[in-house]
């Protein structure tokens, strides 16, 4: 074969190869083009290489050199086309999908205080039993905190050292008409003396009853204050939740049954209730309530039938209506549920404590 024929063939092959590579739209087309031109056994470049043998002997060096240039040009043309396709198509990472083992960015969530959580739980359980929430003032007068609750002046609970009486109390004149029996001095009679921080939430029960006719079905809850030295199980401020049901024909069997429903709801599983006789001035009979748990009896709180003197104090007729009341200390319930051993932690508000709930 003449040299210039051979060289022309090489030029035509180069042009065609480069055109075909450029025109390849995707990886498959490019691969077909590669096989056609650069295929190891029957690619066109290979065929041309075979026809190199037909070139005249004295032209072979020039032809051989030209052939190598063309080979390099076609191969680099292929690589360029390949790079072009990679750059414009989806990346490896994308074609492989999402890596779900990578950690997410974690937002910092806040925490509701465990006492609030406990109160909300208890409210919700009692709500399902038909008890609505009632709230009242934390600064109370003596009628609501003592006299209406059948705690006479001589009772040790009224001792100045057992209560947080306010210094402002000394500046007020005794209100006229502050007599026991009949409705209290709030509202109609006026002359409420804010005298002390309430020592029990039963004050709220009195406030509800003196303004409403039976039936009454409430839970009163909130903070109460007693001058106890703070230690692992006592604090001068704590939370109580008290239930009250007044209607015609309410009995101690109703009390025990409601307490059992409450305990079963709160602890799950089968729970039994036990009464032990006790004494509170505002209930008669009065009992301590235990519930069964893991073959042992644990103390739940106090309860009883509302004392007729209390019913009369709020204007009810004890021969027409009867009712029960029960109370729990929220801190104790919360501490037991979450195994908190020192109730002072609840009021330190250390974030390391709060964020565990």
Partner 1 sequence: MIVSWNWLKDYVVLDIEPEELARRLMMAGLNHESTKTVDDDLAIDLEVTSNRPDCLGHLGVAREAAVLCGHPLRLPPAAPRESQPAAAELTRVAIECPELCPRYIARVIRGVRIGPSPDWLVGRLRTLGISSINNVVDVTNYVLMECGQPLHVFDLTKLTGRQILVREARTGERLEAIDHKTYELSPGMCVIADEQSPVAVGGVMGGAASEVSAATTEILLEAAQFDPASVRATARRLNLHSDSSYRFERGVDPEGVDWASRRAAQWIQELAGGHEQVHVAAGSVDVGRQPAPRAPVVLRFDQLRRILGIEIDPAEVCRILQALGNTERSVVFPARVDYRGSSPAGQAADGGAVEVVPPSWRADLTREIDLIEEVARIHGYDAIPEDVSVPMATSARSIEDWVLAEVRQVLTAAGFDEALTVSVVEEDWSAAFSPWTDAPPLVEATGDS
Q: How far is the CB of 275 from partner 1 (least distance, A)?
A: 4
| Angstrom distance (rounded) from CA 132 to CA 220 | 8
Query: Candidates 15-23, 76-84, 123-131, 182-190 — which segment interacts with partner 1 by CB under 8 A?
Result: 123-131
Q: Is there binding between residue 140 and partner 1 (CB under 8 A)?
A: no
Q: Which is nearer to partner 1, 194 or 285 (CB)?
A: 285
Q: How far is the CB of 341 from partner 1 (least distance, A)?
A: 18
Q: Which is nearer to partner 1, 83 or 279 (CB)?
A: 279
Give the residue, chosen from 133, 137, 172, 227, that forms a contact with partner 1 under the rule CB under 8 A.
133
- Which residues in 289-318 contact partner 1 (CB under 8 A)? 305, 307-308, 318
| Angstrom distance (rounded) from CA 86 to CA 64 | 33
Query: Candidates 34-42, 47-55, 78-86, 278-286 — which segment interacts with partner 1 by CB under 8 A?
Result: 278-286
Q: Identify the CA nearest to 9 among candidates 40, 41, 55, 42.
A: 55
Give the residue, chosen from 254, 265, 315, 345, that forms a contact with partner 1 under the rule CB under 8 A.
254
| Angstrom distance (rounded) from CA 47 to CA 38 | 10
| Integer CA distances (angstroms), 219 to 20, 22, 143, in order | 86, 83, 20
User: Phi then psi for 184, rounded to 5 degrees?
Assistant: -80, 180
Give the residue, chosen from 46, 60, 82, 217, that forms a contact with partner 1 under the rule CB under 8 A.
217
| Angstrom distance (rounded) from CA 19 to CA 11 | 12
Q: Identify the CA nearest to 234 among candidates 344, 143, 340.
A: 344
Q: How far is the CB of 108 from partner 1 (least distance, A)?
A: 4
Contacts of 300 (CB under 8 A, 6+ apart): 259, 263, 289, 290, 291, 328
- What six digits make up the tokens of 159? 């001792």
Q: How far is the CB of 267 from partner 1 (least distance, A)?
A: 15
Q: Is there binding between residue 43 and partner 1 (CB under 8 A)?
A: no
Q: Are 149 and 281 in contact (CB under 8 A)?
A: yes
Give the residue, chosen from 3, 172, 237, 345, that forms a contact with partner 1 under the rule CB under 8 A.
237
| Angstrom distance (rounded) from CA 232 to CA 99 | 50
| Angstrom distance (rounded) from CA 324 to CA 216 | 10
Q: Is there binding between residue 125 and partner 1 (CB under 8 A)?
A: no
Q: Which is nearer to partner 1, 51 or 116 (CB)?
A: 116
Q: Is there binding between residue 326 and partner 1 (CB under 8 A)?
A: no
Q: How far is the CB of 177 from partner 1 (least distance, A)?
A: 24
Q: Is there binding between residue 332 and partner 1 (CB under 8 A)?
A: no
Q: Are 192 and 299 in contact (CB under 8 A)?
A: no
Q: Is there binding between residue 241 and partner 1 (CB under 8 A)?
A: no
Sort 328 into a burial class: Cβ within 10 Å, 0-12 / 13-18 / 19+.
buried
Interface contacts to partner 1, rule CB under 8 A: 107-113, 115-116, 120, 123, 126-133, 135, 138, 153-154, 156, 159, 161, 197, 215, 217, 223, 225, 236-237, 247, 249, 251-254, 256-261, 272-279, 284-288, 305, 307-308, 318, 322, 346-347, 349, 351, 354-355
């Amino acid at each position: 074969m003449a040299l210039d024929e051979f060289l022309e063939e090489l030029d035509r092959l180069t042009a065609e190869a480069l055109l075909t590579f450029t025109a390849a739209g995707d990886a498959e087309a490019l691969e077909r083009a590669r096989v056609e031109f650069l295929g190891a056994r029957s690619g066109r470049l290979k065929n041309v290489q075979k026809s190199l043998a037909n070139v005249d002997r004295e032209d072979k060096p020039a032809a051989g050199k030209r052939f190598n240039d063309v080979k390099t040009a076609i191969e680099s043309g292929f690589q360029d086309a390949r790079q072009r396709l990679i750059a414009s198509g989806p990346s490896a990472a994308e074609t492989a999908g999402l890596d779900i083992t990578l950690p997410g960015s974690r937002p910092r969530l806040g925490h509701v205080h465990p006492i609030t959580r406990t109160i909300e739980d208890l409210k919700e359980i009692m709500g399902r039993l038909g008890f609505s929430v009632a709230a009242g003032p934390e600064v109370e007068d003596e009628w609501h905190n003592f006299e209406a609750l059948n705690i006479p002046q001589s009772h040790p609970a009224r001792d100045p050292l057992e209560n947080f009486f306010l210094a402002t109390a000394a500046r007020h004149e005794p209100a006229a008409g502050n007599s026991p029996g009949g409705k209290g001095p709030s509202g109609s009679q006026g002359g409420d003396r804010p005298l002390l921080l309430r020592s029990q939430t039963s004050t709220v029960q009195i406030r509800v009853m003196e303004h409403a006719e039976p039936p009454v079905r409430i839970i009163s809850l909130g903070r109460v204050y007693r001058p106890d030295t703070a230690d692992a199980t006592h604090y001068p401020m704590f939370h109580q939740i008290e239930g009250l049901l007044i209607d015609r024909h309410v009995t101690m069997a109703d009390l025990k049954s409601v307490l059992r429903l409450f305990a079963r709801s709160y602890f799950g599983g089968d729970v039994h209730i036990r009464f032990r006789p006790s004494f509170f001035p505002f209930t008669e009979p009065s009992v301590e309530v235990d519930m069964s748990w893991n073959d042992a009896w644990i103390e739940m709180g106090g309860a009883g039938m509302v004392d007729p003197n209390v019913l009369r104090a709020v204007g009810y007729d004890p021969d027409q209506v009867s009712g029960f009341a029960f109370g729990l200390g929220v801190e104790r319930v919360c501490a037991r549920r979450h195994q908190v051993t020192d109730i002072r932690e609840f009021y330190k508000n250390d974030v390391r404590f709060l964020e565990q709930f």
